[in-house]
Amino acid sequence: MESRRTLTVSDGIELAYWLWRCEPNPAPLLLLLHGAASNHTRWSEFLDKTSLKRDTDVLRPDLRGNGASMARGRLDHEIWSRDLHELLAAEDYPRALIGGHSLGAQIALEFAHRHPQQTSGLILIDPVFKRALTGSRRRLGHLMPLFVLATWVARAANGLGIRRRSIDAERDLRRLDEETRDALRGGESHQEIARRYSALGPILRHMPVANYLQQLRATVAAVPPLEDIGCPVLVILSAGSTFADPDVNREEIARFPRVSTVEIDANHWPLTERPDDVRQAIEGWVARELPERIW
């Protein structure tokens, strides 16, 4: 069964997470990380349907600054990695297979770089490689100094007490995903879907401006040296991604020493657009690469 839990980490922030424990225990752990401006419900449909939960525990946190782990202050890969390290220690898991989408994939890479002995493998869904960025995401990289300044201004305002007093941190992304699939079946284009998921209005109803700016920065930040990631890696790529050059993506992915790649007919939100394809790709890879479940 799954239970909602909280942990107060070393700097006093309370993190919320959801832990599915299978029977019998102890069992290996699958740690699932959502992307920017998201929360643990991004993985709800996967957890509901995956066969992995029969003999695998599954932990889904709301990353610091999101959902029920709402907090203001500094957000970056180092802090998120530290939070995950403390979560694993609190639940007595020595290692985890870590999956992440977009920013969640970046955080998974950072954790594997900092804690290789705690990382059994990585499942990276549309990881963002700075060199591969195109269009608006590439321009975002060039505008990084302005984002740093805007973040500083927003955090300074928060420190002076200038902030929204009420933020609706709850957002059911599974329901949004189901509505989006209905829209696609009704003829809505992938470009319209991208605008739906990137629209600032809905995003900022659910999080502080400073948090969103910091997560944007973190999404396009440089990743650790991929050649140093020694664990097995599965990369799931959207074939029609709006944000990245597919050829450059493949060049970057080839730097991993132990990597398998699956392309899915989606547009950066494969967990929304093709959830069954993503689930089957993950389950098949785990069966091939980690058959003994000794994670």
pLDDT, tens digit, for every residue of 186-223?
776 666 666 666 666 677 777 888 899 899 889 888 99
Specify if 87 maps to a domain.
yes
**CA atoms of 49 and 251, how far apart (whole Å):** 33
pLDDT at 198: 62
- Could you tell me the pLDDT band of residue 52, with boundaries at 50, 70 and 90? very high
Residue 295, pLDDT above cutoff 60: no
pTM here?
0.88
Specify if 171 maps to a domain.
yes
Specify if 72 maps to a domain.
yes
Q: Is 4 exposed, middle or buried (0-12, 13-18, 19+ CB in 10 A)?
A: exposed
CB proximity list for 228: less than 8 A, separation 6 or greater: 113
Q: Measure CA 205 to chain center.
A: 20
The residue among 98, 213, 87 whose CA lies nearest residue 152 is 213
pLDDT at 220: 86
Specify if 251 maps to a domain.
yes
Specify if 34 maps to a domain.
yes
Specify if 295 maps to a domain.
no
Specify if 13 maps to a domain.
yes
Specify if 294 maps to a domain.
no
The residue-averaged pLDDT of 27-50 equals 96
CB proximity list for 215: less than 8 A, separation 6 or greater: 36, 37, 65, 75, 103
The 10s digit of each residue's pLDDT in 55-76 is 999 999 999 999 999 998 899 9
pLDDT at 264: 93
Instruction: Choose from 95-104, 152-161, 188-197 the range with maximum mean pLDDT.
Output: 95-104
Identify the CATH number of the domain in which residue 122 sits.
Answer: 3.40.50.1820
pLDDT at 31: 98
pLDDT at 232: 97
Q: Which residue has the higher pLDDT, 14 or 172?
A: 14
Q: Are 119 and 95 in contact (CB under 8 A)?
A: yes
The residue among 269, 101, 145 whose CA lies nearest residue 198 is 269
Full domain range(s) for residue 112: 2-289
Q: Which of 85-89, 152-156, 245-249, 272-276 bottoms out in mean pLDDT, i.e. has the lowest?
A: 152-156
Report how many domains make up the chain.
1
Q: Are 69 and 16 in contact (CB under 8 A)?
A: yes
